[in-house]
Chain A
Amino acid sequence: MPGSEIGGEEKGVRLVFDGHAIEARPGLSLLQAWIGAGLPLTENVGCLGQGVCGACRVLVRRTGERIAGTALACEVVAEEGMQVAFIDHFPARRPHAYDLEALGDSWSIPEQIDRVFPEARHCRHCSGCDRACPKGIEVQRMVNLAAEGQVFAAAGLFDHCVMCNLCVAACPEHIDPAHLGQFARRMSAALTLRPADLMQRLHEIEGGGQRIDPDAPGAQPPAAPPA
């Protein structure tokens, strides 16, 4: 990729990535350092730098630090002495099944959340999910709010979730916070978002209004200029 080569005179930063000792030009992201080192890239990659797809999950330990932390490889700049490992996207255990269209009685929302995500009540407040989140989301607070049926508040906290599922990997109670967060968000939209202008337009269309005339003057190309 453009700009990922190591310049002749410039001193690179040295790091170990998935067991490979590599050298990267200063300022590159971990993902660009991997590419620049000539290593094959067929997974753990998606948007390649925008930080929205959550595919490039890594475990990172810096020199002198005791604890390794999680991050997105496209968002962290390579540093001298780093130890990095990709975290694969293992298939999730998915016991948390629900049908959004079948959530009929909104008076029973707290019970329905509890039925689908029974583990959420067992949060042991270890903050593992908070530490795991590369976006700084208050994951644990979301879990606790959702367990109390505070759907909008929980949904709001998950506004910036990029579905990396690092909180799912971190939770010792198998709460699957990422999916709980999406449950709250999806429920908020599907049960309560009813814009009047949209409903009005749908009503018109379904009543046979708003027909499209393909031969209207505005649908014709401008007359060709005289040769």
Chain B
Amino acid sequence: MSGGLPYDEAMRAWAAAAPAPERACPLAVPELLKGFHPDHRPGGLVPLRAGPDAGATVPPELAALLEADSLLEDIDIAGAPILDADVLVLGGGGAGCVAALTAARAGARVLLATKLRMGDGNTVMAEGGIQAAVGAEDSLQRHFEDTLRAGHFAADRALVAALVGDGPDCIRWLIRQGMGFDLTDERQRMGGTLLRRKPGGATAARLLSYRDFTGLEMMRALREAVLLTPGIALLDRHPALELLTDDRGRCGGAALQDLEQGRLVLARAGATILATGGAGRLHLAGFPTSNHYGATADGLVLAYRAGARLREADSFQFHPTGIAWPPHMEGALVSEAARSAGARLVNARGERFVAELAPRDVVASAMLRELAEGRGVVRDGRHGLFLDTPSLEREQPGILSQRLLTLSHLARRAGFDPAREPFLVRPTLHYQNGGVAIDSAGRTALPGLLAAGEVTGGLHGRNRMMGNALLELVAFGRRAGAAAAAGARAERPRNLGLNHLAGWRRGLLAAGLDLGRKAPLLFPPYGNVTAEGLLGRAA
């Protein structure tokens, strides 16, 4: 990163110019993205050398995991205790919980296995909101077109149509689970209207919310519902190490590591739903991340190795406003709600440089351009740009204390007053746009394996809109849960084991790859553990 202006100097420029004047951006969007989005950096993508998508490109950090060997051999699973279920759900975030609830209510016996604790994922951290076209001036068609356009027309149209078509019914379903939503008038609980805001890149106000902790409100309701639903057995601290496949190549469950007991257990199921979330903790290109601790791409690794296809696995979302300073909070998210409410982004010269509510990839790229061209702010060696919360508070007195609660809380922990000092922000790795390819029932290319939530690809094209992640996990959690419950009865795995690994290893060797590298990762390196260590082996 090239130089920038020192913080004190930049603060003087900001104070003198506030509210900041706009500087026109001479670069057209495609050039801006090509020149500055981290997806397009030189050396940022490498071709996969093995597996069903060999030849497709992904970031090197992800390729290293996708081309790694399994942690397990046949001998490891011999004699391991077996748990039986109709449906196995891997992952206890939003998508996993919705899928488990749906499958259990359809009569399936469900096992929900999660690496951390049920609820500890990216869903609970979501702040901004959830999209659903409920406004009279809005329509499913507009939501459909906005989503395709924001994703640069790379998304699967059938999936997007399913997503937006389910939107209003998903909101009703969430209310039935006991989730609250903001209303335009809190006294009008029956017959009032939902509070709607315009997410970046949208043509209508379509973002529904619960204050600025929508994900927490959603996850509280889902957690209680899962705990109270008979038919769901919960396995906290049980990460999946490998999918189990039968002699016809069907997925029939997963090998789980019980971290409490330090032993392997085999979960056998008629259908398995992958809901393992994203990959932020791979810190692609050295970026900080807004993701939760467990976002290490485990699901992509397991699915790919067993024969599922990936799509847009080279496309990641960098959220424009991650904390750049103080260092110990680096990467934590300042919600888009701040920009939705009118907060501006300002460079070290006191200038605005981008339309703040353009799609996230455009805003992030414009910020990285300012930083690369020396118009960033440097504080204690950290580079960032200003998010002008003081001007926002001056223009809308009380907004920080009444509407942007999480933001104010964040500033307090960082040790400053957001009404007097702007945040110092820079893009942070936020979301995996692509993932495991699915059909509109959530089925992957591997029979018996379904997927839902951030681990999937095809819904967001090459850039996700704000508010479509929470919608996706509900819409496709329900679809995958229903399809899994229906399919689980029809199919029973037979001769279950690690049948796919022999072919996988042959493929790695044929491509000249090293079998010594193992995956999934399970925990980031600074967690001071390795998956091999947890299995009692030297790393």
Interface residues, chain A, with chain B CB atoms under 8 Å away: 1-4, 27-29, 32, 35, 38-43, 45-53, 55, 75, 89, 92, 94, 97-101, 159, 161-163, 179, 182-183, 185-190, 192-198, 200-202, 205, 210-214, 216, 218-221
- Return the contact of B136 from the options A27, A47, A186, A197 (Cβ within 8 A): A197
A45 to B, closest residue via Cβ: B293
Q: Which of A39, A179, A183, A210 contacts B528 (CB 8 A)?
A: A39
Interface segment, B59-67, B68-76, B79-87, B179-187?
B179-187
Known: A2-B327, A195-B194, A219-B145. A42 touches B117 (CB 8 A): no
Q: Are B171 and A198 in contact (CB under 8 A)?
A: yes
Q: Please state if B172 and A41 are interface contacts (CB–CB under 8 Å).
A: no
Q: Are B144 and A53 neighbours in the complex by a CB distance under 8 Å? A: no
Number of interface residues of B (CB under 8 A): 82
What is the interface of chain A mostly: helix, strand, loop, or mixed?
Answer: loop
Q: Which of B142, B176, B192 contacts A196 (CB 8 A)?
A: B192
Chain A positions within 8 Å of B409 at CB level: 51
Residues of A contacting B413 with CB < 8 Å? 51, 75
- With both beta carbons as reference points, the residue of chain A lying nearest to B158 in the complex is identified as A214
Q: Indicate if the CB atoms of A214 and B161 lie closer than 8 Å.
A: yes
Whether the pair B328, A4 counts as a contact (CB closer than 8 A) is yes
Query: When chains A and B are docked, how far (Å) is the Cα of A216 from the Cα of B144?
Result: 10
If the complex has contacts A163-B223, A189-B221, are A4 and B228 also in contact, measured as CB distance less than 8 A? no
10 contacts between A and B (CB under 8 A): A41-B528, A42-B259, A49-B332, A94-B228, A163-B220, A182-B221, A185-B180, A192-B190, A195-B134, A219-B148
Name the residue in A179, A185, A195 with the highest tally of chain B Cβ atoms < 10 Å from its Cβ.
A195
Contact status of A53 and B164, CB under 8 A, knowing A97-B228, A100-B176, A216-B141: no
Query: At the interface, yes or no: B400 with Cβ under 8 Å from chain A?
Result: no
CA–CA, A220 to B223, complex, Å? 40
B154 nearest CB neighbor, chain A only = A221
What are the residues of chain A within 8 A of B135 when measuring CB–CB? 197
Whether B180 contacts A46 by the Cβ 8 Å rule is no
Q: Is the CB of A213 within 8 A of B527?
A: no
B contact residues around A99 at 8 Å (CB): 228
User: A48-B292, A197-B193 provided; 19 other pairs, C-beta below 8 A?
Assistant: A1-B524, A2-B288, A4-B328, A39-B528, A43-B117, A45-B120, A50-B332, A52-B124, A53-B292, A101-B176, A161-B220, A162-B216, A186-B178, A192-B189, A196-B191, A197-B194, A205-B140, A212-B141, A212-B164
Closest residue of B by beta carbon distance from A52: B216
Find out whether the CB atom of A188 lies under 8 angstroms from the CB atom of B220.
no
Q: A27-B326, A163-B220, A212-B140 are in contact. Are A50 and B125 (CB under 8 A)?
A: yes
Q: How far is the CA of A196 from the CA of B216 in the complex (A)?
A: 25
Q: Please determine whether A4 and B192 come into contact, CB atoms closer than 8 angstroms.
A: no
B220 x A49 contact (CB < 8 A) = no
A206: nearest residue on chain B (CB-CB)?
B169
Residues 96-123 of B at the A interface (beta carbon under 8 Å): 116-117, 119-121
Chain A residues in 8 Å Cβ range of B117: 43, 46, 55, 89
CB distance from A181 to the nearest CB of B (A): 9
Write the residues of chain B forming the contact surface with A, with a CB cutoff of 8 angstroms.
Answer: 116-117, 119-121, 124-125, 132-136, 139-142, 144-145, 148-149, 152-153, 157-158, 161, 164-165, 168-169, 171-172, 175-181, 183, 189-194, 211, 213, 215-216, 219-221, 223-225, 227-228, 236-237, 259, 288, 292-294, 326-333, 406, 409, 413, 523-524, 526-529, 534
Contact of B119 among A32, A43, A161, A163 (CB under 8 A): A163
Considering the chains assembled together, what is the distance between the CA atoms of A8 and B178 in angstroms?
Answer: 52
Docked complex Cα distance between A159 and B406 (Å): 13
Q: How far is the CB of A139 from chain B (nearest CB, A)?
A: 15
| Bound-state Cα–Cα, A181 to B236, Å | 23
Among residues of A, the one whose C-beta sits closest to the C-beta of B413 is: A75
By a CB distance below 8 angstroms, the chain A residues around B177 are 100, 186, 190
Give chain A nearest CB distance to B253 CB in angstroms. Answer: 23
Indicate if the CB atoms of B119 and A53 lie closer than 8 Å: yes
- What is the bound-complex CA distance between A185 and B331, given in angstroms? 32
Known contacts A28-B328, A42-B259, A42-B534, A195 near B192 by CB under 8 Å: yes
Chain B residue numbers with a CB within 8 Å of A205 are 140, 165, 168-169
